[in-house]
Amino acid sequence: MSLTAISANLSSTKLILPVAVFGLMLGLTGCNNSSTPAEGVDAEAGTEQSSTEQEVATNDDATAAGGQTVTIYSSRNEQLIKPLLDRYTEQTGVKIELVTDKTGPLMARLQAEGKNTPADMLLTVDAGNLWQAAEQGLLQPVSSTILEANVPAKYRDPKGQWTGLSLRARTIFYDPSKVSADQLSTYADLADPKWKGKLCLRTSKKVYNQSLVASMMEHLGEEKTEQVIRGWVDNLATDVFSDDTNLLEAIAAGQCEVGIANSYYYGRLLDEKPNFPVKIFWANQGTTGTHVNISGAGVVTGSDNPDGALKLMEWLSSDEAQGLYASADKEFPVKAGIDESEMLKSWGPFKQDDISVQKFGELQTKAIQMMDKAGYK
C-alpha cells in the first residue's frame, strides 16, 4: 500500500508519494478488502485504541494548477476516504495531504500546533467528537449556502463549526435462529430481564455508545436512562467488546442473541459473507426512531487555507461524493434524494431519530458519568 507510516514530527518529515492507484479503487468497496488495516477493528481510527503512528499520504501527482494544498487531519479509514479525495483532485487540480490518526491524538496535535498547524480540515466520526473539537476551539465557524442546502440542519453545528457528511445508524442486531423480530422493539427494551445473559454490547468508552446514551437521556430523562443502562449491564452475555465487528461475529457464533452496532459494520460483514447469520432490526420505530449519527468535518481554526477546506467540504456534500459514501462504505448519504446502495435498500426504510446531533456532544460528559455509575465498562 502506498502509505508511509511515520512517528516523527509531521512538519519535518512529510513523505510524499504518488497515489494514483487509489483512483482505481473508486469502483471497489475498498473498505471491505480483507487486507484493510482497520478490518476487524474499526472503520475509523477509533478513539479507544491507542496508536502512535501517523500515516501521511499525498496525491502529489495532482497538477499544481489547482491552487493551494488542502491538508486534512483525518480519523477515517484511509482506504475509504482516499478515493473520494482523489476524485476531487482529478476534478479541481487541488492537491490534498491526508494525515491519518486517531481522533484524540489529532485533536491534541491541533491544540499543540495552534496557528502553526499545517491542517486545514478535521475529518472524523461522531458528532460527539466534532462537538469536542469545537468546544476546544479547534474549529472555526463557516457559512455556506451549499452546505445549508445539502445537509439538514440537525446534522450541522448551529454555529457552523462542523457539518455532517455521512450518516450511520446504530441499531439492534439479532440471531434469527433464536430471536424473532417481533420480540424486539427499543434500545430500552434490551434492559428487560427477558434478555438476561443474551445481550452483547461494545464498551462504553466508545463515543458511539456515549452518543447513543446521550440521545436516550434526551428522550427518556436521566433516571429512566440510568435504569436502562443498569438493565443492559445485568443482561450481558459476556464482557463488553472493543469493536462492533467482533460483537456481530459473537452474535453469529451464538455467544449472544442480541446486540447494538453500527449499520456499516454489518454491511461490510455481509459483503464478505453474504450468508452471515445475523439480522438487522430498526430500533425504536414505534417511538423516537433509530439512533443516527454522522461522520463529518470542520475547518481548522489555524488553517492557512480555510476557503480551500470549505470548498472541499462543500464538494463532499455534493451528489457525486454522497453517492460514493453510500456505495463504498455502506453509510447513508446525509443529503436527501441520493440513491442508497442496493444493500442499504435491502434493509428497508426506517424512521430516524430526529434529534439534533449536537446534543450528543452537549450531553457527552453526563452520559459517560452515568454509564460509569451504572457499572457499564
* Contact residues: Fe ion, CB under 5 A: 42-44
Nearer to Fe ion, 172 or 188 (CB): 172
Nearer to Fe ion, 203 or 285 (CB): 203
The pair phi, psi for residue 96, each rounded to 5°, is -125, 130
Q: Which residue is nearest to Fe ion (CB)?
A: 43
Kindly state the smallest distance separating residue 105's Cβ from Fe ion, in Å: 17
In whole angstroms, what is the distance from residue 56 CA to residue 4 CA? 6
In whole angstroms, what is the distance from residue 93 CA to residue 343 CA? 33
Nearer to Fe ion, 69 or 77 (CB): 77
Residue 330 CB burial class (10 angstroms; 0-12, 13-18, ≥19)? buried
* Contacts for 244-248: CB closer than 8 Å, 24+ residues apart: 244/42, 244/202, 244/208, 245/39, 245/40, 245/41, 245/42, 245/269, 246/40, 247/200, 247/201, 247/202, 248/173, 248/276, 248/278
Contact by Cβ (8 Å): 260, 206: no
Positive/negative CA dihedral, 36, 97, 297, 144? negative
Kindly state the smallest distance separating residue 244's Cβ from Fe ion, in Å: 7
User: All 3 cell numbers of residue 179?
Assistant: 430471536
Nearer to Fe ion, 42 or 157 (CB): 42
Kindly state the smallest distance separating residue 76's Cβ from Fe ion, in Å: 9
Kindly state the smallest distance separating residue 284's Cβ from Fe ion, in Å: 20
Kindly state the smallest distance separating residue 262's Cβ from Fe ion, in Å: 6
User: All 3 cell numbers of residue 168?
Assistant: 450511520
Closest CA to 74 of 65, 64, 66, 82: 82
Kindly state the smallest distance separating residue 271's Cβ from Fe ion, in Å: 15
User: All 3 cell numbers of residue 88?
Assistant: 476531487
Nearer to Fe ion, 43 or 283 (CB): 43
**What is the identity of the amino acid at 209?**
N
Closest CA to 303 of 67, 159, 109, 139: 139
Strand partners, 99: 56, 73
Nearer to Fe ion, 73 or 264 (CB): 264
Kindly state the smallest distance separating residue 265's Cβ from Fe ion, in Å: 7
Contact by Cβ (8 Å): 332, 209: no
Nearer to Fe ion, 103 or 161 (CB): 103
Nearer to Fe ion, 43 or 99 (CB): 43
Nearer to Fe ion, 42 or 226 (CB): 42
Kindly state the smallest distance separating residue 133's Cβ from Fe ion, in Å: 17
* Pairing of β 96-100 and β 54-58: antiparallel
Nearer to Fe ion, 100 or 140 (CB): 100
In whole angstroms, what is the distance from residue 324 CA to residue 148 CA? 20
Kindly state the smallest distance separating residue 42's Cβ from Fe ion, in Å: 5
| Distances 315 to 124, 321, 334 between C-alpha atoms, Å | 16, 7, 13
Strand partners, 107: none
Kindly state the smallest distance separating residue 232's Cβ from Fe ion, in Å: 20
